[in-house]
Copies of this chain bind each other. A is one copy, B any other.
Amino acid sequence: MQKSVKHKIVILGCGNVAWHLAKHFSNLKNFQVYIYNHHENVLLNDFRTKLKCSTSDSFNDIIADADFYFICVTDKFISSAVKKINPINTNSIIMHTSGSAKIEELGKLNNIAVFYPLQTFSKSIDVNWNDTPIVIEAKKISVKKKIIVLAKLFSKNVVSLNYKERLKLHLAAVLVNNFTNSLFVAAGDLIEESSVNTKFKILLPLIKQTVIKIENSDPRSVQTGPAKRNDDTVMKKHIKLLSQDRSLKKIYKQLSELIVKQQTKKHA
C-alpha cells in the first residue's frame, strides 16, 4: 500500500464488528471509511457523529470505488450483500469477517478473502486490537499478501487458516466467550435472588483468578471443585438448590460430567 494515497474502506453493516473496524480505521492515517447499510437507522448516526465516517444507504459511485470491502453482516446475508457490490476498481478486495462462513459465500471472484477477528465486540467496550488474533483466508496469493498487510495494521497476531480450522476456532470461541458469559449471567441471577447484600461483583476476583490460572497453565491441570474431586455430597446440595430451575440443573449435571471425563482423559 502506498503511504501517500488515501485508501477507501467500505464497511457493509452497522453492528459491533463494523463499529470496531471503523473505529480502528478512522484512527489510522491514510484511510477513509464509508459505512453502507441498506437502510438509514440510529446506529448509522453514531458512525457519523462519533467516528466521523461517511454513511450511505444506497450503492452510489463513491461506495463503488473502494479499495477494500468488509462485509460485516450475519452469515446468511453475506451472499446477498456481496451481490450489491459492483466495484469500479478491479483490484479491490471483498472480505467477510465471519468465523463460520465459507469464503465461497463471497462468490466466484478472485479478489475475495476472509478477515475474521477472534474477539468479542460490544460497541461500548474498547478492544485491544493488537493482541486480537486475526484469522485470514484468501483465494489468491497476491490477495492474501494484501490482507496480511491490512491485518497487521490491527494485530501482531495474523493467522492463516482453512475453513474447517476457522470454524472449529469459532466454535471454541463460543465455548470460552458466549457460554462463559452466560454462566456469569446465571451466577449473577442466583446470587442476587438469594441476598440483597451480595451482588454479581463479589465474583469478580474469582473470575479474574480463573483467567490468571490459565495464562501459564494448561486449564486441565488447574481444574478444581466438587466435580473434579467427585464430591457427591456437595454436588447433591447444588442440584437440590437448582430444583426450581430445570435447565440450569441439567447444565450443572452435564458440565459436572464433562469435568469428570476431562480429568479422566488427563490420566489416560
Query: Which residues of chain A (220-248) have a CB below 8 Å from chain B?
Result: 220-229, 231, 233-234, 237-238, 241-242, 247-248
* A251 on the B face (CB < 8 A): yes
Query: Which among B206, B215, B220 is the interface contact of A204 at CB below 8 angstroms?
Result: B215
Could you say how many copies of this chain the assembly holds? 2
Residue A161 at the chain B interface, CB threshold 8 Å: yes
Closest to A234 in B: B100
A85 within 8 A of B: no
A211-B211, A214-B184, A247-B257 given as contacts; is B194 within 8 A of A176 (CB)? no
A176: chain B residues within 8 A (beta carbon): 183-184, 187, 203, 206-207, 210
Which residues from chain B contact A214 at a C-beta distance below 8 Å?
A: 181, 184, 200, 204, 207
Instruction: Select A254's contact among B132, B211, B229, B254, beta carbons within 8 Å.
Output: B254
> Would you give the shortest CB distance from A96 to chain B, in whole angstroms?
13
Chain B binder among A38-46, A87-95, A107-115, A120-128:
A120-128
Most buried by B among A169, A181, A209: A181
Q: Which residues of A contact B (CB under 8 A)?
A: 16, 74-76, 100, 118-122, 124-125, 127-128, 131-133, 157, 159, 161, 164-165, 167-191, 194-195, 197-198, 200, 202-215, 217-229, 231, 233-234, 237-238, 241-242, 247-248, 250-252, 254-255, 257-259, 261-262
Can you sample 22 A-B contacts with CB below 8 Å?
A16-B224, A75-B231, A76-B233, A100-B226, A118-B205, A120-B206, A120-B209, A127-B209, A157-B205, A168-B194, A173-B187, A176-B206, A176-B207, A177-B224, A179-B259, A180-B210, A182-B259, A184-B219, A189-B262, A204-B215, A208-B211, A247-B258
